[in-house]
A and B are shown apart, each in its own frame.
Chain A
Amino acid sequence: MKSLPRLAKTTSQRIVRNPQQAFAAIFVMFLTFFSLAGFILIFAGSNTLLSYFESRPQVTAFFKDDTKVEQIDDLKSSLNETGKISKLKYISKEEALAIYKERNKNEPILLEFVTADILPASLEVSATDVKDLSSIAEILKNEQSVEEVVFQKDIVDTLIAWTSTIRTAGAGLVIFLLVTSFFITLIVIGLNISIHKEEIEIMRLVGATKWYIRTPFIFEGVFYGVTSAILATTAVWGALLWFSPVLQKIFAGIPLFPVPTKIFFLLLAGEMLIGILIGITGAYIATRRYLKV
């Protein structure tokens, strides 16, 4: 086995002398890890999004502007009488304005012309059993004072359908890219082996062991994996920070931001591990396939 500095020198010489191949390998692996990190962040985000909506009141009824307090009280009583209600919360126009102001406190323009009058009062209803939600929503829809009923289950169902599609497509794409990366590593190292055919032949003749010949190629594979993992994770994290202000506006009120820095390091560690595994496996198979030691 070679000493580490000698091994690093041999590996770096091979990479520097064939920069196009190294670039191709790193670029394809970069795309893989970029997509992987992107999809992992989308998975994590969609889970937070789902939990947020699942924890929200399950049905919300928005009242017409001319609704009297008595009408709302009557509605609350009739809902309570069904025995299906776990929680009822009335949000007055003033409370709605306070919530709106809190959510948009950094956007003075949005607050300028908004008054309590233009915001509807609402009733947030949670059911003891999810199965009863449809009948509760039906009661609210039939109430004359109610302008609109937002059924949280519809939102959650739509989100689940979307995230499931994204997850399936994402997993498919990532698997495809992982397999591509593996084969690109194999081809690049195979090419490098053929370039160093003479050197390898001489190594064999002067008594080099299989592992002495193999190790620099495996180091080369690991270098491609680790470099592309670092580049991809940093790029995804940079993009996330860049788009954070826009995303924060879109998902206002949902606890998605700021994304903890810990996640960046976990992503980096995970991707480096996958990079090392692809590098080692690709290089090992290439050396087994192309090195007649």
Chain B
Amino acid sequence: MISFHKVTKQYNGQPAIAEVSLEIPDSEFVFVVGPSGAGKSTILKLIIREELPSRGKVFVDEWDIANLSDQLIPHLRRKVGTVFQDFKLLPQRTVYENIAFPLEIVGLGDAEIDSNVREVLELINLAGKADHFPQQLSGGEAQKVAIARAMILRPEILLADEPTGNLDPQSAWEIMQLLAKLNDLGTTVIMATHNMDISSSLPHRKIHLMEGRLVKDTKDKKGKKEEN
């Protein structure tokens, strides 16, 4: 469960998000939508504690993000996988090595790393490109590798910041299918996007942001309907 209680984040006195309150239960697929500068990325950065709230509280399960000790931050980031629009793959490492990277960090042995990485490569249909470098991949393939790297530690939550932003429609659709598959397996997926075509084509909950304020949450709407 992720929850925001009246969260404001300011940069140089200017609010990126203001008074945002929301809750995201486990295993939900949520779109955070809105135009550029609406505060979508700020929401994701607060969840992985790349930023601290200026006011209000952010919780990931029982962890109060603002009061998280330095020792627990790496644990939070293993619990929450992240995917970026620009992939953030390590250019000097192969596909295999990029996916293996988080497993090295948690100290797994070579044999265990190998079996995990091979399994994930099969899942994303890139087993044949294990020895390729990121610059040898298409945008869609690179994003699949980034998702595989984010998922290799089997995090409970996956944050995707404009994951289809740099992709052609076909690749974008493949990425959406992959994210949906991960959600079916029980992962909470929070995807920030300004692409209304993608978000509106899927039935999942949508949190609309505008100039840092939460203007619409389809869960609330659904909830109200249910109450009626």
Question: Which residues of A does B touch, CB under 8 Å?
Answer: 1-3, 6, 198-199, 201-210, 212
By a CB distance below 8 angstroms, the chain B residues around A207 are: 74-78, 102, 105-106, 153
| B149 is an interface residue with CB less than 8 A from chain A | yes
Q: Is the CB of B48 within 8 A of A2?
A: no
Residue of B nearest to A210 (CB): B70
Residue B88 is within 8 A (CB to CB) of chain A in the complex: yes
Interface core residue of A198, A204, A208, A210 (most chain B CB under 10 Å): A208
Q: Does B82 contact A (CB under 8 A)?
A: yes
Give me the 10 closest cross-chain CB pairs, A-B, nearest first.
A207-B78, A207-B77, A206-B102, A207-B74, A208-B105, A209-B74, A202-B88, A205-B82, A199-B90, A212-B105
Complex contact A206–B90 (CB within 8 A): no
Judge whether B128 is part of the interface by a CB distance below 8 angstroms: no
Size category of the B interface is 20 to 34
Nearest CB in chain B: distance from A136 CB, A: 75
Tell me if A's interface is mostly helix, strand, loop or mixed.
helix
User: Which residues of A sit under 8 angstroms from B78, Cβ to Cβ?
Assistant: 206-207
Inter-chain contact A6/B105, CB cutoff 8 Å: no
Shortest CB distance A2–B (Å): 7
On whether A206 and B75 interact (CB within 8 A), knowing A198-B88, A199-B90, the answer reads no
Identify which of A198, A199, A206 gathers the most chain B CB atoms within 10 Å of its CB: A206
In the bound complex, CA of A198 to CA of B89 (Å): 9
Contact A202 B77, beta carbon cutoff 8 Å: no
Q: B107 interface residue, CB < 8 Å from A?
A: yes
Residues of A within 8 Å of B81, CB to CB, are 206
Residue on B with the closest CB to A3? B107
The contact string, 1 if C-beta is below 8 Å from chain A, for chain B 73-87, is 011111001100000
**B107-A1 in contact (CB<8A):** yes
| In the complex, B133 has a CB within 8 A of chain A | no
Interface residues of B in 138-172 (CB under 8 A from A): 149-150, 153
Q: Give me 14 other A-B pairs in contact (C-beta within 8 A), A204-B77, A205-B88 excluded.
A: A1-B107, A198-B88, A198-B90, A202-B90, A205-B50, A206-B77, A206-B81, A206-B102, A206-B105, A207-B74, A207-B75, A207-B76, A207-B153, A210-B70
Determine if A2 and B90 form an interchain contact, defined as CB atoms under 8 angstroms apart.
Answer: no
| Across-interface contacts of B50 in A (CB, < 8 A) | 205
> Are B104 and A6 neighbours in the complex by a CB distance under 8 Å?
yes
A204 CA to B77 CA, complexed, in Å: 8
Considering the complex, give the chain B residue whose CB is closest to the CB of A203: B105
Instruction: List 26 A-B pairs, Cβ < 8 Å.
Output: A2-B104, A2-B107, A6-B104, A198-B90, A201-B88, A202-B88, A202-B101, A205-B48, A205-B88, A206-B77, A206-B101, A206-B105, A206-B149, A206-B150, A206-B153, A207-B75, A207-B77, A207-B102, A207-B106, A207-B153, A208-B74, A208-B105, A209-B71, A209-B74, A209-B105, A212-B105
In the bound complex, residues from chain A placing their C-beta under 8 Å from that of B102 are 206-207
Q: Identify the closest chain A residue to B84 (Cβ).
A: A205
Which residue on chain B has the smallest CB distance to residue A5? Answer: B110
B residues less than 8 Å from A209 (CB atoms): 71, 74, 105
List of B residues within 8 angstroms of A199 by Cβ: 90
Contacting A at CB under 8 A, from B95-110, are 101-102, 104-107
Q: How far is the CB of A112 from chain B (nearest CB, A)?
A: 72
